[in-house]
Every structure is written in C-alpha cells, then in structure tokens.
Structure 1
C-alpha cells in the first residue's frame, strides 16, 4: 500500500506497507470464531467417547493463533520516505526504524525498470551517493506503478528509466 502524507507545506512523507486484509483485532475475532466451532466439535466427540480429540483441538487453536501472529508480524513492515527542506530520509522497519539513511535531495535519483513480461513487476531503486537501495519489494504490481507515479508527480523527485542510466555494481 502506498500512502502520501503532507506533514507541512514543505514536508511530505511517503509510507510503503504490504497489503493486509485485517489487523490483529480482526484476526482475533476470526481465531475466536474458529476456536468456538472447533471446541464445540471436540467436546461433542469427547462426550461420545473420543476424548483424545480434546488435546489436539487445543494444539490446533494454538497453532492457528501462532501462524496468524507470525503472518501479521511479517506484514507490519514499513518503508518511509520523508522529503523535507532539501533532505530525503529513508527508513525501514517494523515498530521503530531498523534502517535509517539521510541524503541531500539533489544527490538522489530513482530508477524504474519496467517489467520484462506483460504481467511482470517493475523494479524501483533509490540511487544515492554511490549506493543502490531497492524500494517496495513487498508491493504488488499496481502499487509499484503508483509508487513510481507518486515519486515523480507528487514529490517532484528525479525518476529515470533503467535504459537511460548506466547500472554498475557496488
């Protein structure tokens, strides 16, 4: 998901995050509903003599809850690009930034490599001070095109196609 926020007249913030259908609270409701159904079935089987089903029902509920939590933790990742007073800041992380870089805005260039095949994903790189940083690897196809458009039109940053730039390995 690509969202643009105007912090002040001269400051803009672009937040990139993976798509997710529900937050943790919504997933807790799904887990609760699945647990109720599972426990009703397990108790019914236990009353008919298959008591060994109860511990496995508990294990299934714990496994489902753990899988939901791990998935949501992975989808909580964000990349934040802030442009303010001629400075571009790139931050990556979950709750707090694990990765934080600051560049002069004039030294930053964004490269967009169009998809090789009809339904391929475009690649978007931030190139600054001799280093290349891949942006939005978790974004879907439509969001990557939106990111390229927002960088060029809304943030007025330099966006180039790969064929106009000599790519080198660093």
Structure 2
C-alpha cells in the first residue's frame, strides 16, 4: 500500500512546559512579595486572594494543555483518504473518502473576511459526505495544508505509467 500523503495536525501552543514553569515561578514570587506588603501594612485578609489568582492561572493552563492533546490525521493511500479525529473529551471519529471523487475546498481570504460554515477550515467532500479539518490551524497553515493535500491528490490521480501506444 502506497502512502501519498500523511499529516497529523495539532493545535499550536506558544508556551511549552519549561516556559510554563518559569511563568508560574515568576507569578508565585510576585504574589508572595505582594502578600508580604499587604501583611506588613496590616491587610492580611487580602493574602488568600493572592493565591486565588495563581490557582486560576494554573487551571487555565491545565485546560489549555489538555485541549492541545487533540489532533487530526489525514492520510491518502492507494485506496482511500481517511480523516481521523482524536479529542480528549469524545471518542475517536473516522471518515473515509474515495480519492477520485474527493473535492477540497478552502477559502484563502483572511479570517476576518470569511463567512459561512466552512470559514476557518479545509472542507473535504465526496458523494454528499463532508468533513472540515484544520479548524485550529492559522490561516497560513490551513492554506499550506490545503495546497499540500491538493498536490498529493493530483499525484494520486496521475497514472503510474504511460498508456500503451495505439495502432
């Protein structure tokens, strides 16, 4: 089985684990300094609230990192194009299309200019079935993905050897 295209799409997270640790250390240190100033001025009831903002920040990053575990895999082989969607909240979903009839639609306008249900994703359609992929990618990444998949689909449709001469 030949593989013409195989891409795994992950949501982008700009802050890695090391950066997160540094950020949290700075936030905790600043909160300790601020809490010390409040205690020194006799406003000790403010101290628990200094811990609440650290907890809220930690929870927000925890949710963000958990959602980063989702991904989409798009694979074009000799016989089918399959889309596999993995999300941490829901069971795996899988779609399969015959590559010959597959249509790729992608609106290359900027995110602020687009309208409609396909805005923000690459739509793969065939025989009344369609699925959007790459909704979490940036507009440039979506465009590059759509062009790469289109190139792979054209390579799949190209005959593997020249036809026999007639006559």
- Name the counterpart of 2:93: 99
Question: TM-score, normalised to structure 1's length?
Answer: 0.72
The match for 1:156 is 154
> What does 1:1-170 align with in structure 2 at a 5 Å threshold?
10=3, 12-94=5-87, 98-115=92-109, 120=113, 123-154=121-152, 156=154
Q: What's the offset of the Cα at 1:114?
A: 4.3
TM-score, reference length from structure 2: 0.73
**Secondary structure, aligned partner of 2:106:** strand
Structure 2 regions of 5+ residues with no counterpart?
Answer: 157-167
User: Which is richer in strand?
Assistant: 1
Structure showing greater Rg: 2
Give the Cα separation in 1 of the matches to 2:101 and 2:152. 18
CA contact (8 A) 1:89 1:101 kept: yes
Preserved CA contact (<8 Å) 1:77 1:93: yes
Per the TM alignment, residue 154 of structure 1 is displaced from its structure 2 partner at its CA by: 4.1
> 1:51: Cα distance to partner?
1.0
The 1-side partners of 2:60 and 2:18 are apart by: 15
Q: Which stretches in structure 1 are left out of the alignment for 5+ residues?
A: 1-7, 159-170
Tell me, in whole angstroms, the C-alpha distance in 2 between the residues paired with 1:29 and 1:110.
42
Q: C-alpha displacement at 1:118, in angstroms? A: 9.6
Q: How many residues align?
A: 150
Maintained 8 Å contact 1:16/1:78: yes
Contact 2:85 2:94 in 1 (8 A): yes
CA–CA distance in structure 1, aligned partners of residues 111 and 63 of structure 2 = 33
Indicate the structure whose relative CO is greater, using CA pairs within 8 Å and at least 6 residues apart.
Answer: 2
After the TM superposition, which of the residue ranges 16-25 and 54-63 deviates more from structure 2?
Answer: 16-25
